Chains A and B, each alone.
Chain A
């Protein structure tokens, strides 16, 4: 039995649709602004030669970054789920941490580390290597965005690996397939939804990011949108360009839907009740640790070192701003909880009742992620002051902005996990007399916990570094670590940015470590009363 073809319950559909409509709020603003130009002018802005050039550049960057992120993240995810990787818990936390490095900090780091007077050149000089050239334009933007966004793929893929029924691997091995064949022909195909979901996030992020492309001077849509705001104070051309980004987003979504296929990804067992996969690395384990070290070194240690170097060179105080740290954690925590909750009906609908409605709702939830933060922020400035003035510049509206921006992070992770839970488990629970709440709490929730945790972590970490919406929509005077870093680096007082930057990375590591430690233990992932009969009812 597959899930397809079942009619979605009305309540679920309504909730999901409500979330999607809310997430599409910025579109209303973009249409209002674009309409100022009139259709003819808008089309001209959207299709002139510059726009096509920007389109090409943006697509090239998004494709290159997505491929690179998948190539980095899938092996890392696999390595960090092997039981005998030396320092496994540490690597699991560290490999996910680059997500919290703001792209503009990573870009500054790249600039600071390369070139004639760069950090790397200084280190390598004794070895006679000379100058490490400074990657500019496409190469620079590609390197920076790949480094900071591969965790978008890593976390869902890791969750999928943890949710994968280990008996699949065992069966493959028992049937005489080599570990390599088993990975390529059994494990990898099961990771397709997770890779697709993560890749989608990376592609959309690469389209929407501003920090990396502006500092490495690569001409994309986002950079052009920012230049319009900055140069002419005219919001209309920016709105038109943003709408083109939305169209691009729809195309990317359509492409991703095609790769999904129709396979079932659940085994019919409650995988949480099983022991963790046993496949070990054996002699390759030190190589695995080295691979983790290389990724962490390039994407995390290098930016941190450059930041620390600013601190020592400038001699500035590197005090951790406690108030800002508290604000960051609190705002991001609320954002993560609300976003995961809002993502639930959307991803449940998408996983259990695929169809036109599900696709529309899920697609709608992705639009906010492709828009540059400043566009979403200005749209909520426009809508907030007109529709809900009492909530304008309160944490409620800021949280709403985070939900609009980060909803897909949670939807992708949850949906992937849900696909691994056989619907028959829920049916069995209900047929055994549990109400929907009990089924949800005692069967579904424990089984999708890795996905929910991954979604929570993604939203939390991304919200920690969010800047444009925080600057415009947070309660006045509500500083966060990200705004402190920005405030210091805007005037090139890099030394003073070092304190909050270290605070940001340090604080982000804590929740990540907690989540990972629970997964690593594997003990608490089991439902309190495992539905023991469930595995027998359904086979794929």
Chain B
């Protein structure tokens, strides 16, 4: 090409055209803090079946929550599909969400939804101990996560302290047992020199490869990792008896008060609670369906068989205090 500079106005014009082409009025805009890898196919299904045009903005849950707060009444978003309840609680607190009808909300157990009907949990994830059955038998695993401070666990544990779910668990520990007990537990486990990982998946892989015996993770990473590499020896242990180590957290959805596609938005919320979507969570992401009548993955126990601690998920919003504690104890 003689003059590459000729390309410049062409590209600029094309971009302008592209900019004008987007942003039609009749679409449902979804802000999704859950990644395209996880929920993209499900959202496509919704669009195909209902004929609703959707536009999805994927991003980090916390950053999208901050974006919704900064956009205020001008937010283009109609619904917010969040990875955790804390972000939904934060935007609900600033009146960004609209109340959902109680017959819809009541499909999900009270523990997994807003007390004032502003958001609903759509799928659940449990904290578990991932263990390698070749290295340790299930009987030897503790009744309470608090027992992991015992010196017999020295050099056998793995965790991912930067992971959001781990931090939510520590927050629950603080809420249920107080900051002092939480500090003692963190210091005790640290004495046992747990191997540190950057995320949950490498923890599960290390357990499967026998590098460590037990890892503190979310339950769905175990089936995910085994699906990719069936040779790995790793299983879930759900801590029973209402122990804080068995915390069940949710991903959820809320409808924005500023939405001008309220009908479609409502339809989307209903869709996420439908059998079809709930089955998708069970089969594709290995999470727990929250609506009665849909079974979890056959290799997992039913949600009703779990014995999670009684803690209000909306109260798990003091992450700052948890981070301070993790930094104070030298874990972060």
A residues whose Cβ falls under 8 Å from a Cβ of B? 108, 111, 116-117, 214-215, 217, 219, 227-233, 235, 314-316, 330-331, 333-334, 337-338, 374, 377-378, 381-382, 385-386, 389, 392-396, 399, 468, 471-472, 475-479, 483, 487-488, 490-493, 495-496, 514
Contact = CB atoms under 8 A, between A and B. Distances in A.
Contact of A215 (B35, B198, B320): B198
A237 B209 CA distance: 43
B6 interface: no
Nearest to B160: A492
A471 B37 contact: no
A111 B195 CA distance: 14
Nearest to B163: A492
A231 B63 contact: no
Interface residues of B, number: 56
B15 A217 contact: no
B38 interface: yes
A493 B37 contact: yes
Contacts, number: 137
Contact of A334 (B12, B37, B62, B86): B12
Please indicate which of the listed interface residues A230, A393, A394 has the most CB atoms of chain B within 10 Å of its own CB: A230
Q: Which 9 A-B pairs have the closest CB atoms?
A: A231-B319, A233-B90, A385-B74, A492-B201, A476-B55, A394-B19, A230-B62, A471-B59, A382-B70
Interface in B157-183: 162, 164
B69 A233 contact: yes
Interface of B is mostly: helix
Given A337-B12, A471-B60, A476-B29, A230 B76 contact: no
A388 to B, nearest CB: 11
A229 B29 contact: no
Interface of B: 4, 8, 11-12, 14-16, 18-19, 22-23, 29, 35-38, 55-60, 62-67, 69-72, 74-76, 86-87, 90-91, 162, 164, 198-202, 206, 211, 228, 317, 319-320, 322-323, 327, 332
A91 to B, nearest CB: 24
A381 B67 contact: yes
Contact of B69 (A116, A227, A235): A235
A477 B199 contact: no
Given A231-B320, A233-B90, A395-B19, A472 B63 contact: yes
A468 B29 CA distance: 19
A111 B162 CA distance: 14
Nearest to B331: A217
A491 B33 CA distance: 11
A229 B66 contact: yes
Nearest to B17: A395
A477 B53 CA distance: 12
A135 to B, nearest CB: 14
Residue from A330, A395, A399 whose CB has the most chain B CB atoms within 10 Å: A395
B76 to A, nearest CB: 6
A229 B62 contact: yes
A81 B50 CA distance: 61
